[in-house]
Amino acid sequence: MKPRRALVRLALAFALLALAGCGSAASEQRTDTGTGQTPSTKQMPDSKQKGHPGPADDPAPRTSQESKQSEKPEQTDPAVPDQLDFTAAQVSGGQFDARGLAGQDVVFWFWAPWCTVCAGSAADVDAAVKAHPDVEFVGVAGSSSDLNSMQSFVDQHGLTAFPQLADTDGSLYTRFGVTQQHTFVLVGADGQATTVPAYGGSVDLDATIAQQFG
């Protein structure tokens, strides 16, 4: 009886080993064939692996307007020519700073309150002021120390479209080298000045402005 029991036990042991082997093989087969694919490690793009910035990390491209603004040179105030480096009292009161005219085309009209030629030309000068909005005009009343007569001349001829300076001491006449009333001095944006005497003669102010300032 003992040998038979030993054989039975041995047969059971082989059977258990066989079942264990089949279970392991089936488990491995399920692992390999459950998805039909071999598991793989997902590769990162080269740009990420090597530390290169991706599209989200790239700086935003500069617009053409930003490029133009960065390339545009800074604007500086124009140099003030010697003839415009002054301040003066106005006939109507207050101070006039001629330095603000630097870099612009300017026509100075030198007149006197008692000058009949100046009075006869006042309307033409006022018309030229309105015909040339891109040109600055400045009247300079001189050859007199009478401020009241200067104001009367301005009021009589309606010369309010451009500033009128009161040169009661003759310093502005001297600065511009003017020796006689009804004289025009044209100062270009480049600071170059041209004197045009008009007393006793006929001057086409519009043509003179076009020739001088283009």
Residue with tokens 């511009």: 176
User: Is residue 198 one of the residues assigned to a domain?
Assistant: yes
What does the pLDDT average to over 65-93?
81
Other CB atoms closer than 10 Å to residue 87's CB: what's the count? Answer: 11
Read off the pLDDT of residues 54-63 as tens digits, 9 standing for 90 and up. 555 555 666 6
Predicted pLDDT at 137: 99
| Residue bearing the bigger pLDDT, 113 or 22 | 113
pLDDT reading at 50 higher than 60: no
Check pLDDT > 90 for residue 111. Answer: yes
pLDDT confidence tier of residue 15, bands split at 50, 70 and 90: low
Whether 9 shows a pLDDT value over 80: the answer reads: no
Instruction: Work out the angle between the directed axes of helices 116-131 and 205-213 (0-180°, nearest 10).
Output: 50
Lowest mean pLDDT among 31-40, 65-74, 204-213: 31-40
Question: In this structure, is residue 121 part of a structural domain?
Answer: yes
139 lies in some domain: yes
Res 107 pLDDT > 90: yes
- Does residue 94 belong to any structural domain of this protein? yes
User: Is residue 36 assigned to a domain?
Assistant: no
Other C-beta atoms closer than 10 Å to the C-beta of 138 total: 22
CB of 196 within 8 A of CB of 187?
A: no
Which of 91, 77, 100 lies closest to 187 in space, CA to CA? 100
Residue 28 lies in a domain: no
How many domains are contained in the chain? Answer: 1
| 25-34, 101-110, 139-148, 192-201: least confident range | 25-34
CA dist 112 → 71, 95, 115 (Å): 51, 20, 5
CATH of the domain at 86: 3.40.30.10
